Amino acid sequence: MNRWGWAFIAGIFLLVACGQPQGPSSGPSTGEIRITMTEYKFQPDTIRVKAGQEVRLVLVNSGKKDHELMIGRTVMEMEGKPAGYQEDFFAGLHPQVSGEKIEQEEEEAHAGFMVALEPGGTATIVFTVPADRVGEWEIGCFEEDGVHYQEGMKGKFIVER
């Protein structure tokens, strides 16, 4: 075989190697997103999902304090302190939650759906993103009477069409 032949074979090999899909439980194609919580931030702090996609949010509390995740719009205050969102992203979605060292609440008393984790805790929240949620939302932690939020424990949650 001449050198063009070898170059051709090498080219095919590269195409195959680069074209491999990622594993079944990783990468954006399957909608699994890992979010680490510490004092006082979410990592990553910008999350993008697509309408119609099944999303698995894997939360990990790597900090020394309890942290929680809420997703919504328009911060609501209680006694002058940020306490949650007026519009809850999860309203009507009934997300499935599993994990360790977690506490979860749905609507009523609290300002929307939330999952709180003790240090070292982990939880997976699974839900399908409805088309009516397209747009920009916020993720936030309102632990310690809103102090975490005030310290900057928030981020963007963007739903694309």
d(CA 65, CA 71): 20
* Nearest distance in Å: CB 11, Cu ion: 50
List the interface residues with Cu ion, window 47-106 (CB under 5 A). 67
* Nearest distance in Å: CB 57, Cu ion: 16
Q: Which is nearer to Cu ion, 84 or 148 (CB)?
A: 148
For position 148 contacting Cu ion by CB under 5 A, the verdict is: yes
Q: Give the contacts of 116 (CB within 8 A, at least 6 positions apart).
A: 66, 67, 68, 69, 102, 103, 104, 143
Q: Which is nearer to Cu ion, 38 or 124 (CB)?
A: 38
* Nearest distance in Å: CB 98, Cu ion: 21
For position 154 contacting Cu ion by CB under 5 A, the verdict is: no
For residue 38 the two structure tokens come to 């510490």
> DSSP code of 110?
S
For position 153 contacting Cu ion by CB under 5 A, the verdict is: yes
